[in-house]
């Protein structure tokens, strides 16, 4: 038998909603009694609980959430817009974040001490964020020091990362970025150093570096945290401009070039619009690339009769299609692509969280340890200060 070239994942793999693992947001029991999903009074219960809480609660809904949850959101948006919105409501003691764990952490970092951030289901994690653990990233940095390249390297971390990774980024003088400002973040970082360690989404890093900054694919190396030196030689690390962490989004990673070719044949005149978390090959085959907010704006601004094939999370694509019946809007892949962790938050969890707050209990509060929060805040503030 040959030995497999793998090492065990540092995160315990648990069944969603069963058992608990404090080091990961996956597989966490709900501490209360959830109402059944079939309960016909759920909508009414959510409405009543929200009305009882009044201005004390502010409900945030990420674009990828189900319609039944979005119906109760005070504001919808991408992860950064939602964190900003939470910070802009210092009068609301309870922020119910209908998104995933890293987003609730960012909201906790950006909100005041009297505010409590609640994630209705602790199993709503993000597989991409889980692909870069603090220990792995610290180990990577130690090896970059060993290779003599750390001094020239500036960390740039995508918003879709844990608070611990954001803290690492701030501690090493780096910045956070979103899919909307990744180009500006890289421009800033290359004004400060000669290399970037981009965490944790290799695709956003590669797409931005090559397509927006004009670097070549050869300027990029991938850091595999399971291999010594990330699977690179010291010479390769010295020559590289972009060190891309080997992480990806399990939703956007599923779109293929074949799907682009197929939809062009099926829908003549279609414009293919994809998210930059898709692979370089898919983005290159598409007509347009854009963050979630840009995708929404492009579709909204397009004339009646426009035809779009969209490569992003299915809930958002379906909502766009429903909102624009005068346009043809199709999902890029043939297979279903929901974000399964984002979809952990459903109406029963939202009702449970709101009713707990009405009862004077704070369920599933997300808090970031103060030292990590301070460094993470530095990296987030650096992003806000980007030119
Ligand atoms: S869509 Fe991808 S990046 Fe976004 S929360 Fe889901 S797994 Fe994470």
**Structure confidence by residue, pLDDT tens digits, 218-257:** 999 999 999 999 999 999 999 999 999 999 999 999 999 9
Q: Which atom number of ligand 1 is nearest to the Cα of residue 100? A: 5
Give the torsion through C-alpha atoms of 70, 202, 279, 314, to 10 deg: -10
From residue 154, alpha-carbon distances to 75, 204, 335, 359, 371 in Å are 34, 16, 38, 47, 21
Domains contained in the chain, CATH given: 42-125+341-369 (3.40.50.10800), 129-250 (3.40.50.10800), 252-331 (3.40.50.10800)
Q: pLDDT tens-digit profile of 139-163?
A: 999 999 999 999 999 999 999 999 9
Cβ neighbors of 303 (< 8 A, separation 6 or more) are none
Q: Which strands form 57-62's sheet, in the order they lie side by side?
A: 75-77, 57-62, 94-98, 116-118
Nearest CA to ligand 1 atom 2: 249
Atom of ligand 1 nearest to the CA of 128: 8
Query: Closest Cα to residue 208, out of 244, 161, 256?
Result: 244
Give yes or no for a contact between 359 and 91, defined as CB atoms under 8 angstroms apart: no
- Confidence bin at 29 (pLDDT 50/70/90): low
Alpha-carbon span 103 to 82, nearest angstrom:
8
- Mean pLDDT of the region 5-32: 51
Atom 6 of ligand 1: nearest residue by CA position: 339
In testing the pocket of ligand 1, which one of 339, 344, 345 has its CB within 8 Å of the most ligand atoms? 339
Report the separation in Å between the CA atom of 154 and the middle of ligand 1, taken as the mean of its atom positions: 24
State pTM to two decimals: 0.90
pLDDT tens per residue, range 120-142: 999 899 999 999 999 999 999 99
Q: How far apart are CA 347 and CA 45, in angstroms?
A: 10
CB 291 within 8 A of CB 178: yes
Residue 238 CA, ligand 1 centroid: distance in Å? 32
324, pLDDT greater than 70: yes
Q: Which atom of ligand 1 is nearest to the CA of 99?
A: 5
Lowest mean pLDDT among 302-316, 329-343, 353-367: 329-343
pLDDT score at 255: 95
* Residue of higher predicted confidence among 264 and 87: 264
User: Cα torsion for 13, 162, 179, 298, to the nearest 10°?
Assistant: 70
Sole residue written with tokens 């998210």: 275
**Which residue ranges have their beta carbon within 6 Å of ligand 1?**
64, 100, 126-128, 160, 249-251, 313, 339, 341-342
What is the spatial distance between Cα 122 and Cα 373, in angstroms, rounded to a whole number?
A: 19
- The alpha carbon of 118 and the centre of ligand 1 are apart by a number of angstroms equal to 19
Centre of ligand 1 from the C-alpha of residue 151, in Å: 31
- The residues that bridge with 75 in the sheet, in sequence order, are 60
Instruction: Pick the atom of ligand 1 nearest to 201's CA.
Output: 3
């Amino acid at each position: 038998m040959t030995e497999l070239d793998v090492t065990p994942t540092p995160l315990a793999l648990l069944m969603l909603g069963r058992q608990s693992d404090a080091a990961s947001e996956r597989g966490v029991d709900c501490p209360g009694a959830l109402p059944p999903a079939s309960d016909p009074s759920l909508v009414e219960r959510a409405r009543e609980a929200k009305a009882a809480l009044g201005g004390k609660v502010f409900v945030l809904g990420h674009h990828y959430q189900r319609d039944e949850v979005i119906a109760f959101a005070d504001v919808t948006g991408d992860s950064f817009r939602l964190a900003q919105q939470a910070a802009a409501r210092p009068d609301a003691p309870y922020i119910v974040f209908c998104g995933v764990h890293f987003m609730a952490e960012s909201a906790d970092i950006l909100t005041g001490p009297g505010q409590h951030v609640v994630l209705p289901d602790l199993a709503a994690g993000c597989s991409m964020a889980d692909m870069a653990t603090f220990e792995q990233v610290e180990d990577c940095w130690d090896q970059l020091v060993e290779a003599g390249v750390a001094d020239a390297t500036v960390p740039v971390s995508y918003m879709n990362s844990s608070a611990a990774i954001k803290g690492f980024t701030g501690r090493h003088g780096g910045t956070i970025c979103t899919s909307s400002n990744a180009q500006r973040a890289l421009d800033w970082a290359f004004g400060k150093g000669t290399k970037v360690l981009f965490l944790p989404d290799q695709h956003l890093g590669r797409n931005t570096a090559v397509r927006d900054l004009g670097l070549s694919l050869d300027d990029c190396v991938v850091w595999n945290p399971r291999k010594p030196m990330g699977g690179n030689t010291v010479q390769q690390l010295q020559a590289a401009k972009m060190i891309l962490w080997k992480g990806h989004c399990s939703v956007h990673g599923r779109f293929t070039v074949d799907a682009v070719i197929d939809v062009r044949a099926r829908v003549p005149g279609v414009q293919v619009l994809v998210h930059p978390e898709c692979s370089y090959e898919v983005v290159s085959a598409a007509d347009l690339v854009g963050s979630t907010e840009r995708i929404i704006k492009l579709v909204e601004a397009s004339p009646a009769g426009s035809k779009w094939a969209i490569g992003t999370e299915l809930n958002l694509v379906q909502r766009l299609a429903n909102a624009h019946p005068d346009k043809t809007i199709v999902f890029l892949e043939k297979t279903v692509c929901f974000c399964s962790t984002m979809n952990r938050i459903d109406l029963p969890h939202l009702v449970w969280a709101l009713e707990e707050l009405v009862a004077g209990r704070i369920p599933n509060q997300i808090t970031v340890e103060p030292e990590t929060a301070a460094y993470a805040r530095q990296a987030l503030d650096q992003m806000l200060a980007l030119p």
